[in-house]
Amino acid sequence: MKNWKSLMLLGTSALVLVACGNKDANKDAGKDNTGEGDFKITMITDTGGVDDRSFNQSSWEGVQEWVKENNLPQSSGTYIQSDAADQYIPNIQQAVNDGYDIIYAIGFLLAEPLEEVAKQHPDQHFGIVDGFVDLPNVISLGFKDHESSFLAGVAAAYTTETNHVGFIGGEKGFIIDRFETGYKAGVEWAAKKLGKEIKIDSEYAESFKDAAKGKQIAASQFSSGADVVFHASGAVGDGVFNEAKDRMQADSSKKIWVIGVDRDQEAEGEYEGGNLTLTSALKQVGQAIKLTSNDVMKGEFKGGQVVYGLKDDGVGLSRGHLSDEAWKAVEEAKKLIVDGEIEVPEFTYSQN
């Protein structure tokens, strides 16, 4: 019995030692590289991880660029990856303990965990991307995805030859609703301008991962005559791009296009004989992080909500393979939105 107890004691103390050792090592390393008083930021990913080819990756690219632009050592910008939803709170907590000047939580999934931690640390600055937390020490970075989707709709309408376009969403909800609503409004606006009728197919995969489902939905839409498909569905889009590639490789006389989302998805559209990524609806998450970090560095951090739209280049559309005519129409629509002449609707089904 005694032996057991001492063994256990030894075990736990070893654990504690290891834990302390790690922390101290981290702190020392931080000090060595950054020096006293240097500025550092970190971000916490959602389960997509930093290589998700979506907003986690854009955020991380923004952090890295920001570090470079301010001539800071690399350790001034770090990330913590969440492998499961139950790691959100511990990860945020860990970042607080490590002492960063601002901590970004990436994605609306982290909004609730962040709120919980942020309440307990009113002096710590936080940022949340794509979500909203109503606390004075949190800045919520929102994006007008419906505005970029509107432009994607205009591009689709000007490109389609069959007068039939498609939309493929991930999980149904208010985030993707913005994309669908904006896209439809854009197609309708351009169709009116062109004096024709354009049919829009809209379908949800109810997943952000199931590429097979994306391939099936894309097959249905292409088979029924759509020749431009806009996807806002994360990795489901991999299947959409693949279906389009299969079709172009089999018969390149019927040109079909896919519109990418969040990042420039030019690379995904490459196939033998060309590229089928028409354009991508961009979301400059990295830009938002850079601007906010600069404010914090100047000591001008303000809590509340900032929404980036076309006006401040927070969202946009890539030039891609758009024809000159289509690009001109996109530019025109963009100007009208920025000037406030077109008001893009934001929600169809999720909010009234």
Partner 1 sequence: MDVVTLLHLVVSNTLTYATPLIFTALAGTFSERSGVVNIGLEGIMVMGAFSSAVFNILMYPTLGTSTPWIGMLFGGLVGILFAVIHALATINFRADHIISGTVLNLAAPGLAVFLTRMIFNKGETGPIARTFGTGNIPLLHKIPFIGPILFSSILLPAYVGIALALISWFVLFKTRFGLRLRSVGEHPKAAESVGINVYFYKYSGVLISGFLGGMGGAVVAQAIQGNFGSATIAGQGFMAMAAMIFGKWNPVGAMWAALFFGFSQSLSAMSSVIPALQAIPPVFLQILPYILTIIILVGFIGKSESPHALGETYIKSE
Q: Is residue 249 part of the contact set for partner 1 (CB under 8 A)?
A: yes
Task: List strand residue ranges (DSSP E) for 15-73, in order.
Answer: 41-44
Q: How far is the CB of 219 from partner 1 (least distance, A)?
A: 6
Q: How far is the CB of 306 from partner 1 (least distance, A)?
A: 29
Q: Which residues from 67-106 bind partner 1, rule CB under 8 A? A: none
Q: How far is the CB of 340 from partner 1 (least distance, A)?
A: 35
Applying CB under 8 A, among 28, 69, 112, 251 the residue interacting with partner 1 is: 251
Applying CB under 8 A, among 146, 178, 184, 215 the residue interacting with partner 1 is: 215
- Contact letters for partner 1, residues 101-140 (x by CB under 8 A): ----------------------------------------
Q: Would you say 53 or 334 has its CB closer to partner 1?
A: 53
DSSP three-state, residue 178: helix
Q: How far is CA 84 from CA 53, 90, 110, 162, 172, in A?
A: 18, 11, 11, 43, 21
Q: Is residue 1 part of the contact set for partner 1 (CB under 8 A)?
A: no
Stretch that binds partner 1, among 146-154, 247-255, 292-300, 339-347 (CB under 8 A): 247-255
Q: Which residues from 194-213 bind partner 1, rule CB under 8 A? A: 201-206, 209-213
Q: Is residue 162 part of the contact set for partner 1 (CB under 8 A)?
A: no
Beta-strand pair 315-317/277-283: antiparallel
Q: How far is the CB of 290 from partner 1 (least distance, A)?
A: 21
Q: Binders of partner 1: how many residues, by CB under 8 A?
A: 40
Q: How far is the CB of 227 from partner 1 (least distance, A)?
A: 14
CA–CA separation, 133 and 145 (whole Å): 19
DSSP letter for each residue of 276-328 = -EEEEEEE-HHHHHHHHHHHHHTT----EEEEE-TTTTSEEE--TT--HHHHH
Measured from the Cβ of residue 352, the count of other Cβ atoms closer than 10 Å reads 5
CA–CA separation, 253 and 40 (whole Å): 53
What tokens does 254 get? 């019927």
Q: Would you say 96 or 219 has its CB closer to partner 1?
A: 219
Distant-in-sequence contacts of 267-275, Cβ < 8 A, 24+ apart: 268/237, 268/238, 268/241, 269/241, 269/244, 269/245, 271/245, 273/248, 273/249, 274/248, 275/321
Q: Would you say 9 or 267 has its CB closer to partner 1?
A: 267
